[in-house]
Structure formats: structure tokens, C-alpha cells
Structure 1
Amino acid sequence: MTSSPGLARRLGTTDAVVIGLGSMIGAGVFAAFGPAARAAGTGLLIGLALAAAVAYCNATASAQLAAQYPESGGTYLYGRERLGPWWGFLAGWSFVVGKTASCAAMALTVAAYAVPAAWQRPVAVAAVVALVAVNYRGVTRTAGVTRVLVTVVLCALAVAVVASLVGSGADGDRLLTWTAGELGWYGVLQSAGLLFFAFAGYARIATMGEEVRDPARTIPRAIPLALGLAVVVYAVVAVTLLVALGPDRIAGSAAPLADAVAAGPWDWASPVVRVGATAAALGALLGLVAGVGRTGLAMARTGDLPRWLAAVHPRHRVPHHAELVLGGLVCLLVLVVDLRAVIGFSSFGVLLYYLVANAAAFTQTAEHRRWPRALQVAGAAGCLVLAATLPWQSVLAGVVVLLVGALYRVLRLRLAP
């Protein structure tokens, strides 16, 4: 099957916002603050503000482009249309490869929260199969399941916040005591990078632009709204953790929210945090599968991936070949390797992805502009600054992934009839 109908426009504004929230309020809200506190101490609040500012600039670029190009593919499509095929390919390749690894990491994270170590790989595979099946049944099923998961996560976070603040060890003065962590101001920038990657899932809305009703109106509303809600949630959690534990105890914890709850009188709430973290990881994985599948569809339509992957199911109107292949690859990765600690190149790929988005949005003409060009300049600069805070190993891995992709495309173009 090499040709097929387009995807169906079934998502409203609320659906798009929920999918964005499900992608952003993932496992990072339960785990990202530990590394951020090690890098920046109480300066993680400044890091969070910087991350939110860069994310806002990137989000406006994605929203503006999605309104003009309401099709699947996100920045892959925008880069091709505004900057040229190579720019689009590099963004799309980085996204697909990096986020496929992220899918495997998130599946293992789901299992780590849910079951003992001996059962984690089989449960991770089961989670991937189940969520691919949900996506296969149609985008409305994806939105419905995401809505349930987001509700569970927000309820669990609300319980965790209250349980943490009622503890006798909570002290508001900790917010007024400045500590800059191990790395000083560089650490503040590094914390911004860590927190940016934790809630940078708003691109998922743009990659699904072909399935949103009235995209010129819906997407520019949904992306900033979803991002704003996610930033509020992260800010509340950050303040709560600093008040309940302080930066040193956050920095030494692999699960700061669980430790904050355990430090208070509501011991019964500790399992609620685990349930919330499991639901958050499931929501992030569901959004990743949907986003990678749509980007793979767009790349296959132009021949940058095998055209067989461009098939759209005639009934469910989803890129079923792309999602099935993705599911198989992720299951294989889950069974063979543990990518939770070695996917730094995904961070590099995300920054490249948004750098291309900002550059593409900068070239848009006046009739398609919704925000000033200054935001695209600031967004691109923010991506470069955050990239400078990445460990050199992550940058090297990202460059290797790009070189492999470039070699693949060169060979494909030379071998094409």
C-alpha cells in the first residue's frame, strides 16, 4: 500500500490541549527536579523560568507554522517548506531516532514505577503493545485515554503537594535562602536545560496538525495554553519540594515527591505518588508513539523514509504501518538494552528540532505571522545556549545520529531512479 487517504480531523481544542499536557506532564515532573537541584540549588526556580521562556518562544514558532501548514510532520514539514529538504530531514530524523529511544526509556520507566525489577521488561513490552493498540484504534481513542491519564496524574500531584506541605518539616524560609548548587550560574543554565526537556512535549500538538479541526484557530490556541498549564504545574511542584525538603535533600533524591510525602504525616499518600508517576509515564509514552508515528508518516510521504510507512488505515485513519513498526522497534529495544541513562542525544535532537522550527518561522511572511520575529530569534538563541550546557557525550552522540541520517539520505538520493 503506497498511497492512502489523509488523516481525519477529529480533535478539538480541548483534545489538543489534553494531548499536549499528557506529553509534558510526564515522568519528568516526578524525577527531573533531583538533577536540577544538584545543578542549581534553589536556582532551579530561575532555571524553570528560563526553560519556560525558551519553551514559549519555541511554542509560538510551532503554533504559527502549524496554522500555515496544518498537516502531519511538525518541524520536519515546516523545515522542508520554509528552509529546504535537508533542514526538514535533519529535524525529522533527529526527532524520529531520538524519540524512538525515548519511547523505550519511557516504557521502562513505566515498568520501574509499577512492578519489581524481575518483571520490568515484560511489563514494559506490554505497555508498548497496549498503547500502540490504543493509537491504532484512532486519534479520538488516543485523546480519550490521555484525558484519563492526565486526570490521574493531576489528582496524584494535588495529593502529593498537600501531603508535602502539611509535614512538620515544611519551611517557607527555604525559598529565601539562595544556593546555586555545584556549578553556580552555569548550573542554573543546566537546570534550565533539564527542565526544558522535561516539559517540551507541546510539539506533539503540531505533529498532529492534520487531525485537528479548524487548525488555523485551534493549534495557536492549544499549544500556548497547554504549555502554560504545564509550567504552572511544574512551578507548584518545584516550590512545594523546596519548602518540604530544601535543595540539598532534593538533589540527593531519585524520587523527590515520594520523599516529600514520606516526610509528612500522610504516609498513606505514598502509593498515590507511585500511581501518579506510572500514569504520567504512560501518558508521555502515549504522546511519543502518536508523535513519532505522525512524523514518520510525513517523512515516508516524501520518500525520506520507506514509502510503505505512509499508509493510513482506511477505517481508523491513523498511520498504522508507521505505528506498528515503531511498536516493534521499541519492544526490541526494551528487551535488549536499557536506554534510560543513555539517550542524551535525544536532548540534542530536541534542540536541533526547535532551532529549525524557529528558523522556519522567522521566514514566514506578514500574513502568516501571529507573533513578532523577535521571539524566533530569542527561541533560536535559547536552543543554542541550552545545547551548550549539554554534556559533550550527548552532543557527540547527537552528531553521530545526524551523520548516520545524512549518509542514509545521500545513499537514498543516489540510488533513486
Structure 2
Amino acid sequence: MLRWLTAGESHGPELVAILEGLPAGIPVSLDDIRADLARRKLGYGRGARMKFEQDELAVSGGVRHGLTLGSPVALRIGNTEWPKWQQVMSPEPVDAEALGRGRGAPLTRPRPGHADLVGMQKYGFDEARPVLERASARETAARVALGAVARSFLAELGIRLVSHTVAIGPVQVPEGSELPMPSDVDRLDADPLRCFDAATSERMVAEVDAAHKDGDTLGGVVEVLAYGLPPGLGSHVHWDRRLDAQLAASLMGIQAIKGVEVGDGFETTRRRGSAAHDELHLADGRIVRASDRAGGTEGGMSTGTVLRVRAGMKPIATVPHALPTIDVATGEPAPAHHQRSDVCAVPAAGVVAEAMVALTLANAVLEKFGGDSVGETRRNLEGYLAAIPDALASEVADGAVRA
């Protein structure tokens, strides 16, 4: 079983991430992790921080000579602006008068749509800085780094992931459009909004431009696809062991995500049952599904078809034309504090969602197949697939017969 956590604030010295439970022998490339961190900064409509944040990466444990050791993997990601924030975010007490000037001025105008007000109520703070520093999506850099390690593990088992943008505001990829493959990652990352449909991408760019001109922000929808999953990850026997439930929880845990669907999701609710499910047929003696409306899970378990999960991101709550709020220091109406922000961060949300799905699937794989080394995990997977009776054998999404 995997356990992982992150620590650190948006303007603290660094982010820290620890991943425990991985088998030994997984290839870990620092360049690959750095590449994923760079992908997180991509996207048309991103803010100024993405232009100068370096995401300096260091490994503190769990990896030797490019391979995991079976011990906890510990990663650190530096915050480039830390020198400017040392007084504001100092772990040691700071003179109140000095702190009250400039960057350290109390943030007493909580921003609508953020964690500010509720965090102040819950934790007893009289200003929002202690809340927004941890609530910030800066924390997702640590998750992306851990997700890169999890993806390397999955790749050793023939499981590969890709994410793409399917909607920005009202602009959506047409239904029935071609799905990207893992080999299309470079093409996706070269697109300004990580959209696989070029014509739709142009319309998305225009929508972002319009929002920027109006001093507003945009949300959207991203989709993560997983190819090569074996059937049987997750379980139907308890609510918390259902793979789709675990995926939904992990995606809902991303900042600003307000909805999740698996497969055709909410569209399925508008169909009759006869047009909502995936019929089973025989092809060359193997069971195949005529469609993938379920999105790769049935009964809380992976089916072996393409896993498709979508996450809906709300428009960024820090609006340039500041929303009305209350100054809790004076009790008077006031414009919300404006922290530097993006117009649209949906493309980055796709990369973060990819990482969360990778971590969730890696955990499901280890729950099913175990293994203290990646070789043992692979043998257990191969043995499981070989033991499936011929009468029940099916295909995985990459087209290679695995049982």
C-alpha cells in the first residue's frame, strides 16, 4: 500500500513530498520529474509566477543510482521567491511592527471562493495569510513530482497515462473526437491549452483572450486516460475499495476541482439503459466490449479497457476585478485582496490530475499484486493474468492480449 504526503507553503523555502510503499527497482529519472514539473507550468493564460519559478528538485532519500530502494522516497522542490519572503514566512517569531509593513501586512479581506474565511474561522486566525499559503495550488508541484515516480512504476507494468483538455469555459471538444494516446504527449504539451483538437484549441485561446480582456477568469474540464490496466483493480465488496470511488476522491482533492465523472458519467444519466452500457462480444475467442461508455470501470473494478476520468475545474477565484468581501478588521465592505493569479489554469490541472490518477492506480496495483521489488510485482501480475480461465479472457486497452 502506498502512503504519501506533502508539506510546505506557497512562499516558504520549499515543498517536501514523501512517498512510502513503492517496491525496489523502479527507475527514477530526475530529468523525467523535472519534465513533469515543467509541464505543470504550461498553458495559455498562466500567471507571472510560472515564468520565473524554477522548481529546483532534490532527492533526500529512497533512490540510489536511478532506482528506488524500497524505502520512502523523499523529494524537495525549492520556492524561487523564498528570499523575498523570509521575514513574512519565518518559522521564528518576527517583530510585529516590522511584519506589518509591505508583504507582511495582515490580509483581512478574505477572497470569495477561496479557503480564506473558513480557514480563519476553523483555525482561529485573524488574517488569511496562514490559510492561503497552504491552500495555494503551489502545493500541487509536490504531487506532480510524486506522480512522476508513480508513473514510472506503472510504466514498468505496461500501464501508461495521458491527460488532455476537453473544455475551457463554454468551448468544448466535439463529442466522439479521437482520444489521445500516451505517444501523443509531446503534441499535447506543444498545444497552448493541451487540447488534442486543433480547431477547438484555437477557439479556446480566443475564449481565454476574451476573459483576460474583461479582467475575468475561466475554468474547464480535463480528462485523464490510462492504457494497459489489467482487469480487477479495486473491488466491489466495500465502498472504500472501489477504484472509481478512489479516483473520484483523489481528483476532488485537487484545488479548484468541483466535479468528477468516470466514462460517459453524467451523459449516461440522460440515456435509456439499453443505450448506456457496454455490450460484451467474442472476438477471436476473447471477450471484448463493444464500447467504453463505463470508462474502464464496472462494479468498482477496472475492466481492462481504457480508463477515462474527467475533472471539472471552477474559474479561478482570484478575479482581477476584485470581488466584494468584508474587511474582518473593520467590519466594513471592501474589495477582496488580490493575490497574483492566472486567467486560466486548466491545462496545468490536467497534469496534476494525471499525477493523482497515477498515484491512485499505483496504490491499487500494489493492493492487488504486492511485491517488494518491481520484478516481483510484475511476476504477480503476469501470474494473475495467466490464471484467468480462457472462457473469461479479455483484452487490455493497448490491444495486447494479456490473459
Greater fraction of residues in helix: 1
- Using the size of structure 1 for normalisation, the TM-score is 0.23
TM-score of the aligned structures, taking structure 2 as reference length: 0.24
Larger relative strand fraction:
2
